[in-house]
Amino acid sequence: MRKKGQVWVETVTYTLIAFILIGLVLTFVKPKIDELQDKAAIDQSVNVLKQIDSVVNEVYQGGVGNKRVLDLTLSQGTLTINSTSDSLDFLFTGTYMYSEPGKIYQDGGFNITTTQIGSEYKVLIGKNYPTFNVTYDGKKSPGIIQSSPSPYNLIISNNGGSGQNIDFSLQ
Q: What is the DSSP string of 33-80?
A: HHHHHHHHHHHHHHHHHHHHHHHHHHHHHH-TT-EEEEEE--SSSEEE
| 144: confidence class by pLDDT, cuts 50, 70, 90 | very high
The tens digit of pLDDT for each residue in 47-73 reads 889 999 999 999 998 888 899 999 988
* Mean pLDDT of all residues in 78-104: 92
Domain count, the chain: 1
pLDDT at 91 over 90: yes
As a whole number, mean pLDDT of residues 129-157 equals: 91
- For residue 2, the model assigns a pLDDT of 60
Cross-sheet strand order for the sheet of 78-82: 104-107, 110-117, 120-128, 87-94, 78-82, 143-146
Mean confidence (pLDDT) of the chain: 90
Residues 78, 135: contact at Cβ < 8 Å? no
Q: Give the pLDDT band (50/70/90) at residue 145.
A: very high
Q: What is the mean pLDDT of residues 115-140?
A: 92
pLDDT exceeds cutoff 60 at 1: no
Residues comprising the chain, all counted: 171
Identify the CA nearest to 77 among candidates 31, 16, 126: 126
pTM: 0.81
Domain containing 56: what range?
Answer: 2-170
